[in-house]
Structure 1
Amino acid sequence: MNKCIKLRNFVKNGNFEIGPYVFKNFSTGVLLLPKIHDIISPLPGWIVESLKPVKYVDSRHFNVPSGLSAIELVGGRETAIAQIIRTIPNKFYRLTFVIGDAKNGCHGSMMVEAFAARETLKVRHESRGKGDFKTGVLKFKAISNRTRLTFYSAFYHTKLHDYGHFCGPVLDDVKVWYY
């Protein structure tokens, strides 16, 4: 017997389209402060859960996987972004997301770690500064009626020709489906 499941993304603002205003000629992105400095997140649905800010980047000035904007994890392990979603205990879910580089001179071996329930996934991406992207898929079983999704960059990165400028992997298209 086949059950027809209505697909619905459980993540709010998973494509990061709703966020702070980016000025047309402002090409550096917008730093979003951690929760300890800014109680109300300028990125609806998300918590900047770290010591360092994350960068909100737009498609006019950076390469983003889809849509108009994405998040760049610029501070290594000290930069984390999270969201708490509603889940049904003992149901199985699939978390998908896209990582890559923003084609902004950031280079090297990148890795984003994703956490959901008791599961962890490390997705590696070798950045050559060409704006390439890769999709990560994490299957998890919900253990309560709320599940925290957390993402952070495992390494510190700088631009190829400017070692004083921090950068990192771009995160976009975060989706959670049950199956």
Structure 2
Amino acid sequence: MNFSDVNISNLISGLLPNGDFEKGPKQSDIKGTVVKNPHALPHWEISGFVEYIKSGQKQGDMLLVVPEGAYAVRLGNEASIKQRVRVIKGMYYSITFSAARTCAQEERLNISVAPDSGVLPMQTLYSSNGWDSYAWAFRALYDVVEIVIHNPGVEEDPACGPLIDSIAIRALYPPKMTSNNLLKNGDFEEGPYIFPNTTWGTLIPPFIEDDHSPLPGWMIESLKAVKYIDSDHFSVPVGKRAIELVAGKESAISQVVRTIPGKPYALTFAVGDASNACAGSMVVEAFASRATIKVPYESKGEGGFKRAVLRFVAPGNRTRIVFYSTFYHMRSDDFSSLCGPVIDDIRLLSIRKP
């Protein structure tokens, strides 16, 4: 692949060139489903056992699902795809892509933009569609970067790897504290790309604790992912974006904020549901250092929210704010998709002593 093949110039938001893989290899470069030429897939360079999969294709008794469109790629053992893109040096970016498990038991993916890299676990399927969309972020250290998605699997069947589809990029603008909120990005308006015309949101993977979070200002300090949702497809309390806590106490977000020791503060936030058939008795737990509150919310799965406040006195010059859901929930329309309460419009302000 020549860099001149990549028609991307400081792309701020959208699919990478041929990010949906609808442009396929020439028939002479493919044998069955296996792509034989490293440069056969337009705008991409491949390595290892890579298959070009058509929607509805079967592998034995298993039907292979393609998240969007008609085609996707499947990465076998140690296979990878990569593309060089032009970016703005010093800026933060988020990569969003869709992936579906096939026959491997311990599937995971490595994603990297040198010198950053991350491992995205795929053992948990959050939706009943057969696939999920994931986000990962990096800071561009160069004007041209190479995005690599790699399957480190060691399955006996080299074809037992994940399907990859719809790879997009979005520039991130890290928010700052304001006079109205000591928390950064408390409204969650800054975050990863969400694919239009999709109904499953974007997962922000667990163990995201560094400065390159796809949810600027927040850390995902849990065993499971949280879901980033938008008002085009879900009920959102305020603005365009919010977070759905989809895995009980294993799905948590946190932020460390500067405070003044001994000064009282008020942490306000909205708790609701995404209008996605996630019904039942929900509880969101919020922590500000040692102060806690449990906020019950009776969800009918049809949207709506309530507000809550946690008042506390800062014990030090830094206070850790944490949110998670007390219980696990499943959508009532399919009984297999993980779901949970929505949190949004989180604000932290100092208050006068009584």
Q: Could you state the TM-score of these two structures normalised by the residue count of structure 1?
A: 0.93
Unaligned runs of at least 5 residues, structure 1: 1-5
Shift of 1:37: 8.9
CA contact (8 A) 1:35 1:41 kept: no
Runs of 4+ residues deviating >4 angstroms:
36-39
Alignment of 1:63-142 (within 5 A): 63-142=235-314
1:48 to 1:36, Cα distance in 2 relative to 1, 3 A:
closer
CA contact (8 A) 2:282 2:327 kept: yes
One-letter amino acid matched to 1:90: G
One-letter amino acid matched to 1:15: D
Give distance in 2, aligned partners of 1:44 and 1:128.
31
CA contact (8 A) 2:209 2:219 kept: no
One-letter amino acid matched to 1:8: N
**Alignment RMSD (CA, Å):** 1.6
**Alignment match, 1:55:** 227
Shift of 1:23: 1.7
Structure 1 stretch 38-47 or stretch 147-156: which is displaced more? 38-47
**Alignment match, 1:151:** 323
Shift of 1:118: 1.6
Alignment of 1:2-17 (within 5 A): 8-17=180-189
CA contact (8 A) 1:63 1:102 kept: yes
1:7 to 1:40, Cα distance in 2 relative to 1, 3 A:
closer
Identity of aligned residues (%): 57
Alignment of 1:153-168 (within 5 A): 153-168=325-340
Q: Deviations over 1:102-144 (max 9, x none)?
A: 0001010000000002200000000011211011100000011
Unaligned runs of at least 5 residues, structure 2: 1-177
Give distance in 1, aligned partners of 2:216 and 2:307.
23
One-letter amino acid matched to 1:157: H
**Alignment match, 1:43:** 215
One-letter amino acid matched to 2:264: F
Give distance in 1, aligned partners of 2:209 and 2:309.
32
One-letter amino acid matched to 2:216: P
1:37 to 1:173, Cα distance in 2 relative to 1, 3 A:
closer
**Alignment match, 1:3:** none
Secondary structure of the structure 1 residue equivalent to 2:336: strand
Secondary structure of the structure 2 residue equivalent to 1:51: coil
One-letter amino acid matched to 1:166: L
CA contact (8 A) 2:209 2:220 kept: no
Q: Deviations over 1:44-96 (max 9, x none)?
A: 00001100000000000000001000000000011110000010000000000
Give distance in 2, aligned partners of 1:95 and 1:37.
22
1:39 to 1:145, Cα distance in 2 relative to 1, 3 A:
closer
Secondary structure of the structure 1 residue equivalent to 2:335: strand
One-letter amino acid matched to 2:230: D
CA contact (8 A) 1:58 1:64 kept: yes
1:162 to 1:82, Cα distance in 2 relative to 1, 3 A:
same
Structure 1 stretch 12-21 or stretch 29-38: which is displaced more? 29-38
Q: Could you state the TM-score of these two structures normalised by the residue count of structure 2?
A: 0.48
Q: Which has the larger radius of gyration?
A: 2
